[in-house]
Amino acid sequence: MGAYVVKYSLQRTVRGILFMVGVMNFFEHLDSEFAYSKKAFLYAINGLPESKTIVINVGMSSLSYNTGLLNIRTFKNFISDVSELVNANSKRQVVIVLSDSLEKTKHQYLLGNDNPSTNSGLYSALITLVHRDIVNVFCDGFANFNLRAIGFSISSVGADAAGELNRTLNAIERIISSKTNSDANKIKSVRELLEKKKSITKTANFNVTAKRTAETLNGLFRNFPRTVPILMEDISYKDNQIEEGDVFAAKIAIALNADVMLSISRKGMLYTVDPEKSGRALPFYCFDTGRGEPFNEARKAALAKKLNAAKHVNAHNKPIPLVLTSYNNPYTICNIFDKNTITGICQNGNYPAFTLFTNSRNPSLPIEARHIVGSVTIDGNAEKALVNDKRSLLQVGVVSVEGDFEAKSVVAILNKNSEEIGKGIVEYGSSEIRREIETRNSTDSAKTKDSVVVSRSKMRLQ
């Protein structure tokens, strides 16, 4: 049964790429190296052309020179690409999330070494000025394609709609009114509470802000469908600054219930090592966020925002694939959402110019696209009941279990010859199934449950 339950690792994928490039086509590459991740990858990639709501995260640095000045040619290509994407489908909605818009641009508004304090009114005005000018540039660009742009500066500071502040104040009041603690212990408890609540409050506030932003954008699309919103983080309040870049965009994508998130980076794809520091960098075409990360701690720290963003959107109730690419050529974005181009990647031996982040363990994926974590071997009577009579798999038909898994996991169903005949979602964990097998094999077999291990509706046969 080894070939059916073997766990393919991303480390093996990286090593395999060395021998595979130029030897086999991309479809064979997926089949050989990604195993169960392959089906999750193909499921996600085949859905890209049908995407209706697309969140594009792009840094101003990707559209500018190293000096921070706008690269007019790259910017025009980006505008044309996004406009083509929207105009090709009247129901498609595109939201652009800009990152590093202030740091790369603010020096153009300052004289000499002027650098206002982050808590000053001048700093806040500077951010407003930068954001307004950036949106104006986008407005002029999209106007040539009969589209309008509208800018949003989003702050994590806002009304305490989640009630977190009131709960914190009530907790402090209970600590202070306690008659059993000394004043020193009370002060210590209050400090610990505030430190613990700090991150929670920020998260709660921004989740509320993101939800309200999504409601506003959905209303905007209903009334003005040919609009491209430009979202930027308002970092006037440094103490309340939310996650920048990819993670910021990921939370917006989740609030919008987007179909896909597109992240544009100068490096273009996810690599084993930093491609700017080593010529031995190998690309990941598919990165399964449900599996282990084949990076050392330093590399993971450098990729933290991208990996966290990918995990965020893939763990959503409706999995949102994240596509990481560069913007070096015109119509890079359109090609990703073009059916013919996507089909060509899998059939014509072309390797993609992007990394697709997916999660083969996500319970919202179809059974056939989810990662298999173990197997159950069944007897001949159970196989006949499943294949011929279209019955559910009962506990009495299971003869052995391979792997450690929890209830609601996807497992391979093997016949007595260790051949995979299907896969399904188990109702019980591996330890409980094993315990029932041991009970059935003992003298006290009357205690064996004749319960359903895999329901027919949660099973896919070959």
pLDDT of residue 104: 57
Tokens found for residue 215 = 């409601």
pLDDT of residue 413: 93
- In terms of Cα–Cα distance, which of 376, 391, 359 is closest to 423? 376
Residues 6+ apart with CB under 8 A from 116: 122, 123, 126
pLDDT of residue 164: 54
* Sheet with 260-264: strands ordered across: 148-154, 227-233, 93-99, 53-59, 260-264, 322-325, 354-358, 286-288
Let me know: does 65 contact 27? Beta carbons within 8 Å.
no
Element (H, E) at 344: helix 339-347
The b/e string for 287-323 (b: 16+ C-beta within 10 A; e otherwise) is bbbbbeebbeeeeeeebebbbebbbbbbbbeebbbbb
- In terms of Cα–Cα distance, which of 349, 347, 351 is closest to 339? 347
Tokens found for residue 7 = 């766990």
Q: How far apart are CA 450 and CA 448, in angstroms?
A: 6
Q: How far apart are CA 303 and CA 315, in angstroms?
A: 18
**Token pair 């052995």: residue:** 400
Nearest 5°: the CA angle 363, 261, 151 is 135
Tokens found for residue 417 = 């010859």
* Residue 263 backbone phi and psi in degrees, to 5: -110, 125
pLDDT of residue 3: 34
- Bridge-partner residues for 344, per DSSP? none
Let me know: does 78 contact 229? Beta carbons within 8 Å.
no
Q: How far apart are CA 265 and CA 206, in angstroms?
A: 25
User: What CA dihedral angle connects 25, 30, 33 and 38, to 10 degrees?
Assistant: 180
The b/e string for 81-106 (b: 16+ C-beta within 10 A; e otherwise) is bbbbbbeeeeebbbbbbbbbbbebbb
pLDDT of residue 77: 92
Q: How many CB atoms lie within 10 A of CB 129?
A: 13
Element (H, E) at 347: helix 339-347
pLDDT of residue 4: 34
Let me know: does 414 contact 1? Beta carbons within 8 Å.
yes
Residue 35's region, left for phi above 0, alpha for psi from -120 to 50, else beta, is left
- Structural domains of the chain in order of their starting residue, each with its CATH number: 10-160+189-358 (3.40.1160.10), 372-461 (2.30.130.10)
For strands 410-414 and 375-378, give the pairing: parallel
Q: How far apart are CA 334 and CA 328, in angstroms?
A: 13
Entry pTM: 0.75
Let me know: does 305 contact 245? Beta carbons within 8 Å.
yes
- Bridge-partner residues for 233, per DSSP? 154
CA Rg value for the chain:
27
Residue 355 CA, distance from chain mean position? 12
**Token pair 């690269």: residue:** 71
Burial of 111 (0-12, 13-18, 19+ CB in 10 A): exposed
pLDDT of residue 153: 77
Residues 6+ apart with CB under 8 A from 333: 56, 81, 82, 85, 262, 327
Let me know: does 268 contact 206? Beta carbons within 8 Å.
no
In order along its 462 residues, the chain shows pLDDT tens digits of: 333 333 333 344 444 443 334 445 666 666 666 666 778 888 888 889 999 999 999 988 888 887 777 888 999 999 999 999 999 888 899 999 987 655 556 656 665 556 666 666 666 677 777 778 888 889 999 999 999 898 887 765 444 444 555 566 567 667 767 777 787 787 777 767 666 655 444 455 566 777 878 888 888 888 888 899 998 876 654 444 445 678 888 988 999 999 999 999 888 888 888 888 888 888 888 888 877 777 888 888 888 888 888 988 888 778 899 999 988 777 889 989 998 888 887 766 678 889 999 888 887 778 888 888 889 999 999 999 998 988 999 998 999 999 898 888 899 999 989 899 989 999 999 999 998 888 887 755 555 567 899 999 899 898
Residues 6+ apart with CB under 8 A from 163: none
User: SS3 for 457?
Assistant: strand
